Structure 1
Amino acid sequence: MYSPKNSPPFKIITLEQLKKSINASEFFPQDASFFTVHIDSVRYLHCGSDLKFIAYSNLSDRINSFTNWFGPETPSVKDIARAGFYYTGNSDICCCFTCGTQCNQWKPDANPWKEHILSFPTCNFLRKNQPLEYINLVHENYLLAQQFICCECKNNPKDIVFYPCGHLVCCKDCGKNLTTCPACNTAITEKFYAHFD
């Protein structure tokens, strides 16, 4: 019986490999009765992997899921679907068919591939369709940008330095009423505005 403890090694096979394979046991565990495949509709197959929603593995099926979409016109539903997402039918929530990560609150300038990377950078679909260098760059840029975001509101840039500890952790709006530093709990005696170009 299949279970995560005795799952087979992760393998991805193409439709052509599946059609050409004479001995299916090369790709499937001995007890593969848990897995049903519709050969004509599957672009690739994950065995023992984390494929969450196989019904949306086809791009056209993901695009068709957006028939009742009321989210923004940009990014386009085709771009969202190309990045592995299908529409869940709730609000503007989209879900990746492979990793199951969900994205919502789409902004007009949003890049679906970047949103996918920021939500789940190790997604197999993402790694198959985007260069690893691009994934790493987007993820590293996000982490770097987060170092400059206020630790309190998580929205504005940090721009207040607390004295005597010297920590730069808050924006001026969040820092104006603080009496102790959120980073070290030191009593704040002075606050300095830091401006970065």
Structure 2
Amino acid sequence: MKKYFVEYKPFLVFLASFFGCYILLTFVYQFFLSGFGSSTVDTITQVVAKNSEKVISWFFMRVQSESVVSEPFVRMYFQNQYIVRIVEGCNGISVIILFISFIVAFSGSLKNTLLFIFGGTVLIYILNVLRIAVLIVLMYYFPEKTHLLHGVLFPVIIYGIVFILWVIWVNKFSKYAK
């Protein structure tokens, strides 16, 4: 049995690092969310909604976000029509936690690891805000395509970009890069 632990040590270290980081960050995030209760929207989701509203307004389109005290989401109105609600799961934090956990599991030098985590987190956040803004506009014009846009196309794009970032990290910056 010891032979297998020695032989598979890199894989086991990866798994322990990944799941340890993922569980820790998820616990911290859940602790953060617990401060808001089940009937209040958290501040990260509010900021994401406001940033998405700002992006749409750059194109001189009428958009408005509305937080109601007793609701755990932000309502988004486009061209004076209620289009979508932004819930906690839309703020991109779960994707960022997944991204960070992978980078930590395949860590490189401390400086490179921290810089890549910071840069990747900022990129994922910006892409998520753009994703929500584009989704709001597309769902206004193509409401019959909501499932395709929200459930298929945009998750493929965001997770695809995260995957590309992982590949870049492993091949260029991690301790496993050649």
User: TM-score scaled by structure 2?
Assistant: 0.25
* Greater RCO structure (CA 8 Å; 6+ sep): 2
In proportion to residue count, which structure has more helix?
A: 2
User: TM-score scaled by structure 1?
Assistant: 0.23
